[in-house]
């Protein structure tokens, strides 16, 4: 008997009829002999409605009280889903994050899970119940209600699976798995039957919207077997077919020799590039630049420093486009004179395109294939950064679609993928 | 420094603007040197919306899960009100029934409060905070979320006032006090500046919608000074004027000799009458009938047993109309054959009209004035029950308005009331 944690997002529970279908699907897994815990989000639109209401009262809502308000969205869904299960004859019980003991830190609106009391869930499972848990929420050491921030329900699901030692955590979304790239950009994109945890982490962090990055990190840390599935398939398809319909995120590299060198093309729109020009090349400069940015809670993505010439160097990095103006202003007003830089330049119209694949570890020339492909399309590369399993380039955002399509073709991803 | 518990109902917090006015009013009381705890209901319409959603999933919603869903209404309000207070510079903190330790029994959807952990509230008050508590909800010994049933927020307010030893519990509603009867039925109805606890209990239990009966019982048991106030007055009127605008519920009888014999006419719509016909008249029969009904958590109101004739008697009682079909079915299927009754009859279209007043203790002929008045209007009396300070009759619901107006006139209540 396997223990499965299933997580359903807001779209999957977006109406009464959909909640009933989630109940039917969970019962199908239970009737196949599994113990099933279901983690749910708020019904789609509900969290936005609650936040808008809060903003009407207080334009920048008090974070503690915002969590009190926002956490009600999931609480409604768990009650409704438990009712649906019971109405179908399936014993079930719902729990809020508070009730089930999802302990978090006190960072309201973006809390992190520290521990979960799983005894109560386990006792219910042993009685044959399907247990329904509110995602996205927990409580801090003082008994305050906390929320995990947007997308936090994925993390709740993975954390519960880790606490319970579940055999698998199944994330149901309105996409049917992980694709070689976004099918809206490349119609030939195809679903990957499996992907390694490392690749998934790169894909998620590079803008693939399938899973929230923190949940993937969590899964990696606790070695939770993760499966992305589509909640759009009919609920009554056979289990084997349903499993094949998604993407499994594995910890072992696939031994299949036919596996492609590059598994997917990820991209992130809305990047902005900042360059601090003519920086005296001495120790501590990078720290002085980035700490000022970090203190303003601005997240930095790619970082590149050129070889210094005559004691001066240029220091470039990217931030989200929303943070562009603020970053530029911090550097010009607080940093430039202080470190003796000549100028601070920027370009808010960049995007990042990355090729990802564990296969590239053992294949030379992957990067050069990427650069040649972009060059043949006349696309200028602004920045490059690499890791063992990915190569990212920053380019002008107007070339995003062209670059992704060309790379998808160049790395033989236009044909259906097999494991 | 006085400690005041204020309770605001759904209409009083029915919009963002109204929530802000509640905040302003609470701050006014705090700035006058009081410690203030505010208990709030769900925004008007919200509880109905949640229950309708639950019924869509499960026509008779599982009670435990219904409470999980329904309790979110108040949770939204407490967060919003705490935000409003903070945005006005007033330190504040919100608590759900779960967080503040409102311990109840496990009768989901109509739980009773057993105890309240008040330490946390007291600590916050001592720090100068206004504490905002969700009404209507609590938790049972197993940590399940419970609700107190419709109107339960009044009870939450009074129970908190009792637990905290508050100097006064102020119930804000969209009426401005207790009237001689419902002004929607009798336009000449006038406000009572004060009413005794006993009268209020009869008025509330007989259908006067101002206060929930259980909250009045609670106030009586713990001798909580209760004041009904209007949330429709401007929030910034002087405190003295605001206090005069409501009705104070006192524990001592008024010594004013000019006080009317009858203080008010109460009524309850939606009553249903059940008669168990031809019951063998032996000890234990009433218990056997009513315990079966009580075990189904159905509340019984009036009870009348006729004189037995030839060893058989008829046993009648009333229940709320919503419980009519269930009561009838329980009696027919579980009780009738067991006790050897001939039949179970019922009439779901009754209403109860009552005259209430401590003055009638010392005045003869009050009941006969009532019966004569109804007779003159051609209204047939189906059942009668009396107490020291009230006389109630059950009549066909189509005569409700006529009966109330006639009695209001007959007992000289059409003129303004003075204390």
Partner-chain contact A79 B96, CB within 8 Å: no
Give yes or no for residue B311 having a pLDDT over 80. Answer: yes
Q: Residue B387 — very low, low, confident or very high, per pLDDT cuts 50/70/90?
A: confident
Looking only at the bridges linking them, the beta strands covering B35-40 and B92-95 are unpaired
Does B326 reach chain A within 8 Å, measured CB to CB? no
Give domain A264-410's CATH superfamily: VC0802-like (3.30.2130.10)
Does A72 reach chain B within 8 Å, measured CB to CB? yes
Any idea which of A242-246, A401-405, B65-69, B89-93 has the lowest mean pLDDT? A242-246
Q: Which residues on neighbouring strands pair with residue B276, listed in sequence order?
A: B315, B344
Chain A hits for B144, CB-CB cut-off 8 Å, are 99
Question: Is residue A4 within 8 Å of residue A168, measured between CB atoms?
Answer: yes
Does B318 reach chain A within 8 Å, measured CB to CB? no
Shortest Cα distance, chain B CAs vs residue A82, angstroms:
7
Distance (Å, whole) CA A295 – CA B7? 43
Distances (CA, A) of A222 to A34, A105, A197: 21, 19, 12
Question: Is residue B160 within 8 Å of residue B39, measured between CB atoms?
Answer: yes
Closest residue in A to B93 (Cα) is: A65
What is the share, in percent, of chain B residues with pLDDT greater than 90? 61
Distance (Å, whole) CA B268 – CA B4? 31
A309 Cβ contact list (under 8 Å, min separation 6): none
A residues 194-233 closer than 8 Å to B (CB) = none
Question: Is residue A190 within 8 Å of residue A413, measured between CB atoms?
Answer: yes
- The ipTM value here is 0.77
Does B187 reach chain A within 8 Å, measured CB to CB? no
Domain B3-175+210-250 has CATH 2.30.40.10: no
Counting Cβ atoms within 10 Å, is residue B167 exposed (0-12), middle (13-18) or buried (19+)?
middle
Partner-chain contact A94 B65, CB within 8 Å: yes
pLDDT of residue B396: 94
Partner-chain contact A145 B96, CB within 8 Å: yes
pLDDT of residue B205: 65
pLDDT of residue A257: 44
Does A98 reach chain B within 8 Å, measured CB to CB? yes
Chain B hits for A76, CB-CB cut-off 8 Å, are 50, 53, 69, 72
Write a three-state SS string for A193-242: CEEEHHHHHHHHHCCCCCCCHHHHHHHHHCCCCEEEEECCCCCCCCHHHH
pLDDT of residue A218: 83
Torsion of CA B203, B206, B211, B217, to 10 degrees: 80
Distance (Å, whole) CA B100 – CA A200? 42
What is the secondary structure of A151-163 as a DSSP string? THHHHHHHHHHHH
pLDDT tens-place string over residues A358-396? 888 777 788 889 999 999 999 999 889 888 888 999 999
Torsion of CA B140, B141, B144, B146, to 10 degrees: 0
Shortest Cα distance, chain B CAs vs residue A233, angstroms:
21
Closest residue in A to B68 (Cα) is: A79
pLDDT of residue A15: 97
Any idea which of A318-327, B271-280, B296-305 has the lowest mean pLDDT? B296-305
Does B18 reach chain A within 8 Å, measured CB to CB? no
pLDDT tens-place string over residues B135-181? 999 999 999 999 997 668 889 999 999 999 999 999 998 777 788 99
B residues 99-128 closer than 8 Å to A (CB) = 99
Q: Is 0.90 surpassed by the pTM of this model?
A: no
| Domain residue ranges in chain A | 3-175+210-250, 264-410
DSSP-derived 3-state class of residue B267: strand
Distance (Å, whole) CA B20 – CA B69? 25
pLDDT of residue B44: 93
C-alpha closest to that of A130 among A87, A75, A165, A173: A87
End-to-end, the C-alpha distance of chain B in Å comes to 28
Chain A hits for B68, CB-CB cut-off 8 Å, are 75, 78-79, 82, 94, 96
C-alpha closest to that of A54 among B24, B48, B136, B81: B81
Residues of chain A where predicted confidence (pLDDT) is lower than 70: 150-151, 205-209, 252-260, 418-419
Give yes or no for residue B257 having a pLDDT over 50. Answer: no
Residue A410 CB: number of other CB atoms within 10 A?
A: 19
Query: Which of B62, B69, B79 lies nearest to residue A65, judging by beta carbons?
Result: B79
The stretches of B305-354 forming alpha helices (DSSP H) are 324-330, 336-339
């Amino acid at each position: 008997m396997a223990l499965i944690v299933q997580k359903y997002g807001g779209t999957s529970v977006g109406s009464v009829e959909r909640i009933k279908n989630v109940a039917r699907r969970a019962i199908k897994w239970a009737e196949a002999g599994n113990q099933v815990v279901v983690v749910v989000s708020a019904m789609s639109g509900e969290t936005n409605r609650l936040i808008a209401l809060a903003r009407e009262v207080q334009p920048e809502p008090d974070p503690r009280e915002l969590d009190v308000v926002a956490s009600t969205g999931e609480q409604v869904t768990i009650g409704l889903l438990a009712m649906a299960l019971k109405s179908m004859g399936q014993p079930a019980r719902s729990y809020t994050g508070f009730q089930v003991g999802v302990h978090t830190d006190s960072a309201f609106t973006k809390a992190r899970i520290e521990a979960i009391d799983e005894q109560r869930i386990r006792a219910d499972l042993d009685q044959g119940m399907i247990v329904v848990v509110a995602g996205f929420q927990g409580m801090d050491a003082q008994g305050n209600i906390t929320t995990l921030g947007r997308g936090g329900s994925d993390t709740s699901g993975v954390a519960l699976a880790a606490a319970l030692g579940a055999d698998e955590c199944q994330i149901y979304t309105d996409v049917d798995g992980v694709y070689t790239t976004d099918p809206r950009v490349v119609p030939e994109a195809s679903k990957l039957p499996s992907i390694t945890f490392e690749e998934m982490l790169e894909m998620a962090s590079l803008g693939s919207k399938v899973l929230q990055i923190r949940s993937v990190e969590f899964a990696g840390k606790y070695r939770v077997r993760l499966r992305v599935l589509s909640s759009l398939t009919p609920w009554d398809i056979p289990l084997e077919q349903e499993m094949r319909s998604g993407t499994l995120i594995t910890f072992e590299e696939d031994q299949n020799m036919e596996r492609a060198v590059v598994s997917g093309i990820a991209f992130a729109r809305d990047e902005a590039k900042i360059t601090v020009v003519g920086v005296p090349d001495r120790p501590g400069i990078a720290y002085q630049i980035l700490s000022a940015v970090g203190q303003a809670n601005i997240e930095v993505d790619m970082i590149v420093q050129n070889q210094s010439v005559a004691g001066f160097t240029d220091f470039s990095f990217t931030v989200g486009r929303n943070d562009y103006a603020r970053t530029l202003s911090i550097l010009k007003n607080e940093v430039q004179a202080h470190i003796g830089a000549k100028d601070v330049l920027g370009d808010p119209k960049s995007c990042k395109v990355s090729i990802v694949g564990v296969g590239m570890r053992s294949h030379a020339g992957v990067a050069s294939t990427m650069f040649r492909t972009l060059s043949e399309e006349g696309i200028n590369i602004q920045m490059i950064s690499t890791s063992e399993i990915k190569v990212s380039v920053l380019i002008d955002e107007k070339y995003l679609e062209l670059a992704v399509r060309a790379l998808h073709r160049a790395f033989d991803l236009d044909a259906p993928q097999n494991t």
